[in-house]
Amino acid sequence: MTALAMRLLNLRWTVLPPAAGIAMMAMIVGALVAAPREIIEGEVQRLMYIHVPAAIATYGAFFVTFVASVMVLWKRDMRWDAIARGSAQVGVLFTALVLLSGAIWGRPIWGVYWTWDARLTTTLILFLIYSAYLLARAISDSTDEQAARYAAVIGIVGFLDVPLIQMSVRWWRTLHPQPIIFTTKPALPGEMLIVLLIGFVAVFLLAAWLISLSTETERLHQRLAGVRAGVDRHEGA
Amino acid sequence: MDNIEYLFAGFAVVWACIFIYLLLLQGRLRALQHEIERLEERLEEAERTSAGTPPGGNRQGQPRGE
């Protein structure tokens, strides 16, 4: 890696935390104060400004896991395994946030916290797949290359659920609303779109910071295993 | 329709989960860094002992002692 790339990569520790913090604050203020009140759903509709960006961040985090898992199988390099594990953790966290915020939003609007709707069920399946991925890696050694390759297969196959989630509202009759933002003509007023855009930036920065932190943790786990093996060799000799 | 309590519950749950995860990550990072430093010191000590060099001695050019 070039010196410039390394310097840019190191900026994640100094730039991402304050940028994510400021953007999250801006999103909160925008969602609670600046955005107009939705007439039919009322105040609870403001959960959209965290729910929708968190859903997109979930896809992003699992896409990183998918790419890193492909690289684990292709390059057989454990650095990619650390990235895959780190982003899978953040993906699972954001999936949980999407499910929880969706349940709280759904209670006053649908009358229930949970229903076996296609969008909700496929999202829960995504959560379970990547929880299984993390569990599979957690019960094996962080430097176990075979376990990393098995987990990488789960990381790749699991991502197939993401397009299924996205298309579920089109393919099946669901309670969940159809897409209103990622269409040729967004069905939202300008003020709401701006706050939502701030929400996307905030959650993207937060996810990038969390992925950096969790990847660093996994990298340190691998380094610890290496140092421990060195100590065992010396002390056993 | 108001439902303001659901709005605050939603935001509170999201923020609480993010903060808890951040705290856990910071704690794990610190513990791992501490453990690595401790083991590296132990490894250095073990290398010195197996190479027969007194602590603080010059190890340059000496075998790794495996």
Query: A227 and B40 in contact by Cβ < 8 A?
Result: yes
In a domain, B39, yes or no: yes
Judge whether B30 lies within some domain: yes
Domain of B32 in residue numbering reads as 17-48
Say if B6 falls within a structural domain.
no
Average pLDDT rounded to a whole number, residues A180-203: 83
HSE-CB at B65 with a 13 A cutoff on CA atoms is 22
Query: What is the structure's pLDDT at A1?
Result: 64
Look at B10 and A44 and tell me if their CB atoms are within 8 Å. Answer: yes
Q: What is the pLDDT of residues B37-50, one digit of tens each?
A: 999 898 888 878 77
pLDDT average, residue stretch A173-190: 74
Identify the closest residue of chain B to A207 by CA–CA distance: B18
ipTM for the predicted complex: 0.88
Q: Above 70 in pLDDT, residue B1?
A: no
Q: Which of B2, B32, B47 sits opposite A234 (nearest CB)?
A: B47
- On whether residue B11 sits in a domain, the answer given is no
Give the distance from residue A225's alpha carbon to the nearest chain B alpha carbon, in angstroms. Answer: 9
pLDDT > 70 in chain A, percent: 96
Structure confidence at residue A230 (pLDDT):
84
Does B12 reside within a domain? no
In a domain, B36, yes or no: yes
- CA B17/CA A24 separation, integer angstroms: 14
pLDDT, chain A, mean: 91
Mean per-residue pLDDT for A176-181?
75
CA A56 – CA A59 distance, rounded (Å): 5
Q: How large is the average pLDDT for residues A161-180? A: 85
Task: Label residue A115 by pLDDT band (50, 70, 90).
Answer: very high
Task: Provide the pLDDT for residue A147.
Answer: 92
Q: C-alpha angle A191/A195/A178, rounded to 5°? A: 85
Overall domain count for chain B: 1
Q: How far apart are CA B16 and CA A186, in angstroms?
A: 31
Q: Does the structure show a pLDDT above 90 at A236?
A: no
pTM: 0.88
B58, pLDDT greater than 70: no
Segment B2-49, tens digit of pLDDT: 789 999 999 999 999 999 999 999 999 999 999 999 998 988 888 787
CB A26 within 8 A of CB A202: yes
